[in-house]
Structure 1
Amino acid sequence: MTNASQRITSEERQNRILDMLSRKGEVVVSELSTEFGVSAVTIRTDLTELEHEGKLKRIHGGAVPARELVVPSLPTRIRRNVRAKDAIGKAAAELVHDGETILVGSGSTTLAFIRSLDKKRDISIISDEPAAHTYIQQHLPNATPISTGGILGRGFHLYGPYLSASLVGTHVDKVFLGADGFERRLGFLAERQVTADAKKEFMKHASKVIILMDATKVGASRLFVPFAQPGNVDLVIMDTDPSDVVAEAARVDGGRARVVEVVRQTAGL
């Protein structure tokens, strides 16, 4: 938190807000108010000025990048680490059979997985990610998108009690979940509590839990919320597992999770 005695100009504060926005993808008024030690009114004024300059887009309670679509058909985050995510998605797609119903959680890697399902026939995909439904409707004519209930969050995914209620009586063979981070002591992590809760709910409704995660997520534990230990999942598909951190944690946690490294396998390492 910024010390109250450390006065900064509004220009400096606004530049730091833009830097935070570029790193996080969204900013929240209450968090910015605490971070800079100023009132919510001051932060809203900053955001309004930045919006007038075309540098961001105001949303309820905060702001997103100016070029961010309200409900993008495919979020810009999927363009990061594209090669790794595509390899993970293709490997995961091999586990899906024609005629199957699967659960797919929100996230950029799970969106890459959905893109790899174009050869499947008569599948149904239950997801809490509106961008996934849009992509399926536009590009996967042989797949049926099924939306969970829930509150539409600023991260463009559904969450809350309506999500849980919509899954009552649902059970499938496989659930595919992304992870925002992994830390040896904490396990698989989500960036927000509501996201972690949604992932936990999904896990209750499937026989097999499959995590899709690229190597950059290992060790990314700052401010993240645990949703699963390696002992709670069946398979982890990664591009590579740095220093075998995930595999070792799985062994220590009872050995249930198996780690598949698709890029390392492809490279013959």
Structure 2
Amino acid sequence: MIAVLTSQRKQLILDVLRQTGKVVAKELSQELGLSEDTIRRDLRELASEGRLQRVHGGALPASPAMGDFASRLSVASEEKKRIGKAAAKLIQAGQVVILDGGTTAVQIARHLPRGLKATIVTHSPTIAVELVSHESVEVILIGGRLFKHSVVVVGAPAIESIAKIRADTYFVGVTGIHPQFGLTTGDFEEAHIKKALSASAAETVVLASPEKLNAVSPYVIEPLAEITGMIVVAETSEEMLAPYFDLGITITKASQES
């Protein structure tokens, strides 16, 4: 019986999280007439299963974009393609642009206009290979230790190289975007690389596929005050986007025709 009650309680927590976007342990414990310790234990167990992300005082939705590169290829693939195409249209001739690693950034590389003359800086071997056949694009590949989970380079040598770059725009891939908790990702070292890349660009634009919005991952890259824009799919609700508009972030909507 206890196991059933525990299961029901956890399902209720997930239902509240889905409906309201957050769980406050104190409020939920009062509503259910249970101790905060009981709710916190449930939150710990759900977090260990990857079903939510614990934060101070409660929990937020965990990002479904936390898998490795291969598994992420099948997550929101059509939306990522649209966002990638929209991002590619923002790149202008003569610019120096940083492309992050990740499945959405791959779509940017694939949709760059064939006649575009620009410089692409990346710490992703995957992105570099995508651009081999693009004759007009110069590719600068940052070196270091390969983080196989995301197929990107990390480490001190990469940070040192990044510090010598002054780019126009950085298109950043993340696993979580939240108005309060900012940009987050699932690896500590990768978070530092992304922060360094952002600091080396005049503008930082977030590739915000739907599964990442209002989700949180363990490691903070930077607050939203540090970014310039976001690219989202056109059907993203105004209600979901409102907090980002309020922060003064420029939002580009990728339509099905983009």
Query: Please, what TM-score do these two structures have when normalized by structure 1?
Result: 0.64
Contact map agreement 1:109 1:213 (CA 8 A) in 2: no
Match of 1:231 among 225, 235, 251: 225
| Equivalent AA in structure 1 for residue 222 of structure 2 | A
Task: Please list the CA deviations of residues 48-94 of structure 1 after superposition, one character each: whole Å capped at 9, or x if unmatched.
Answer: xxxxxxxxxxxxxxxxx9xx9xxxxx956334322211111111111
Task: Kindly state the Cα deviation for residue 248 of structure 1 after the two structures are TM-superposed.
Answer: 1.1
Match of residue 261 from structure 1: 253
Post-superposition Cα deviations, 1:98-156, rounded to whole Å, max 9, x if no partner, equal 2322111111111111111143422221101111111111x422222211122111221
- Find the residue that maps to 2:85 and give its secondary structure: helix
Q: CA, structure 1 residues 165+219, in 2 after alignment: closer, same or farther (shift >3 Å)?
A: same
Which residue in 1 is equivalent to 2:146? 152
- State how far apart, in whole Å, the 1-side matches of 2:190 and 2:70 are: 17
In structure 2, what is the equivalent of residue 17 of structure 1? none
2:104 corresponds to which residue? 109
Paired residue for 1:189? 184
Displacement of 1:207: 0.7
Asked if 1:164 is matched to 2:159, the reply is: yes
Contact between 2:120 and 2:137, CA under 8 Å: does it hold in 1? yes
Q: Distance in 1 between matches of 2:115 and 2:205?
A: 18
Q: Secondary structure at the match of 2:73?
A: helix
Q: Which has the higher contact order (CA 8 A, sep 6+)?
A: 2
Q: Which runs of 5+ in 2 are unaligned?
A: 1-47, 49-66
Instruction: Output the CA distance in 2 between the equivalents of 1:95 and 1:184.
Output: 24
Say which SS state the counterpart of residue 101 (structure 2) adopts.
Answer: coil
Relative to the length of structure 2, the TM-score reads: 0.66
Letter of the aligned partner of 1:234 in structure 2?
T
| Aligned equivalent of 1:18 | none
Is the contact between residue 91 and residue 262 of structure 1 (CA under 8 Å) also seen in structure 2? yes
Paired residues of 2:231 and 2:251 also in contact (CA < 8 A) = yes
- Confirm or deny that 1:219 pairs with 2:211: no
Distance in 1 separating the partners of 2:123 and 2:130: 13
Deviation of 1:246 (Å):
4.2
d(CA) in 2 for partners of 1:172, 1:96: 12
Cα separation, 1, equivalents of 2:209 and 2:242: 14
Residue in structure 1 matched with residue 58 of structure 2 by the alignment: none
- Over 3 Å counting, the alpha-carbon distance change for 1:189 and 1:86 in structure 2 is same
- Kindly provide the amino acid, as one letter, of the partner of residue 147 in structure 1: L
CA distance in 1, matches of 2:134, 2:113: 6
RMSD: 2.6
Q: Is the 8 A contact 1:183 1:218 kept in 2?
A: yes
180, 194, 201: which is aligned to 1:206?
Answer: 201
Of residues 145-154 and 223-232 in structure 1, the stretch that sits farther from structure 2 once superposed is 223-232
Listed one character per residue, the Cα deviations across residues 178-201 of structure 1 (whole Å, up to 9, x for unaligned) are: 111122321121121112111100
Task: Return 5+ residue gaps in structure 1 as ranges.
Answer: 1-34, 36-64, 69-73
Q: Indicate conservation of the 8 Å contact 2:163/2:196, yes or no.
A: no
**2:116 counterpart letter in structure 1:** R
User: Do the aligned residues in 2 keep the contact of 1:191 with 1:224 (CA within 8 Å)?
Assistant: yes
